[in-house]
Amino acid sequence: MSIEMPEATILARQMQTELPGRTVIGFELHGCESLQRIGMVNEEGSDAFAPLVGRTVERVMSRGNTIVVRLTDGQNLVLAPEYGGQIFYHKNAVSLPAKYHLRLDLSKGSALTVRLTGMGSLYATCDAGLEEHYMVRRDVVSRTPEPTDADLTQERFAELLSGAARRLKPVLVGKDAVVVGLSNASFQDIVYRAGLHPKRRASDLDPEEQRALYDAMRFVVTERLRLGGKADFSDLYRVSGRYEPAMGPGMKKCTCSACGSEIQKLSLGGGDVFVCPGCQREAAG
């Protein structure tokens, strides 16, 4: 279950409500060895997280798929479980889950637990090393807009698409995308709602198709925010989201609700993409 921009935003807003003013009084890393070897957790392990102890949370913010918890004395905790994870707040130790990779013990008896279930990042760093982190550079420091940014108008979005002679997936997903915060799951939902085949090139879209893509992107992101995230997402308090995608993983051999065609699975850009051959034609027109 991926944590994309809407879900990261929900978690960060909830953490901003609960964490500022709380002091880290201890921590535990558990079962992180394999994650450290592939760079998802600090190679130094406990030595990297020790400076968080005694520091107080100042604020929590997110951009794209990345959450940054800022603490006093220039310490930071970077949370980016973009390909799967759980971040839970606990008022007391009674509610702690059986599995987690990080437990932060906080003042007033509360705690925060983080578990990565897919590729992502759980990283402690001082201010000097913050911008060296790949996901911070990609999402937080970058000037690339989020899908809901006020200055990302339909006209600006059309300009970005017109200059991208690439298929739609890398234009919307990945390090060179024109927006931050979308992954393969939301991409499938967006292009289906826009009536576009995922193999279309961004620069080949006509003005009507550009607007359809823009409107679909804004709709998917704002609805996920409104409904508390995707249905397979649990927020900081373990409340499940209520957004159901119109197209996405696991829909092979299902039928399209709009035209009745059988959904097909394609391999595209290093992953599977589900598509309706009736509503999403590969050739323009």
Mean per-residue pLDDT of the chain: 93
Q: Specify whether the CB–CB gap between 6 and 225 falls below 8 A.
A: yes
Q: Specify whether the CB–CB gap between 263 and 274 falls below 8 A.
A: yes
In the predicted structure, residue 285 carries a pLDDT above the cut 50:
no
What distance in Å separates the CA atoms of residue 191 and residue 211, rounded to the nearest whole number? 12
Q: What are the pLDDT digits (tens) for 4-62?
A: 999 999 999 999 999 999 999 999 999 999 999 998 999 999 999 999 999 999 999 99
3 state DSSP class of 250: coil
Note whether 26 and 134 are same-domain residues: yes
Structurally, how many domains does the chain consist of?
2
Q: Is residue 35 a part of any domain in this protein?
A: yes
Domain termination residue (choose one: 117, 141, 165): 141
User: DSSP secondary-structure letter at 92?
Assistant: S
Q: What are the pLDDT digits (tens) for 196-241?
A: 999 999 999 999 999 999 999 999 999 999 999 999 999 999 999 9
Q: Is residue 171 a part of any domain in this protein?
A: yes
Average pLDDT on 103-121 reads: 94
Domain termination residue (choose one: 86, 119, 141): 141
SS3 of 117-165: the string is CCCCEEEEEEHHHHCCCHHHHHHHHCCCCCCCCCCCCHHHHHHHHHCCC
Place of tokens 């017109």: 162
Q: How much of the chain, in percent, has pLDDT values that exceed 90? A: 78
Which domain, by its residues, includes 217? 154-228+245-275
Q: Is residue 236 a part of any domain in this protein?
A: no
Q: For the full predicted model, state whether its pTM sits above 0.85.
A: yes
Note whether 129 and 185 are same-domain residues: no
The CATH number assigned to the domain holding 20 equals: 3.20.190.10
Q: At 49, which helix (H) or strand (E)?
A: helix 46-49
- Tell me what pLDDT residue 198 has: 93
In the predicted structure, residue 107 carries a pLDDT above the cut 60:
yes
What distance in Å separates the CA atoms of residue 204 and residue 191, rounded to the nearest whole number? 14
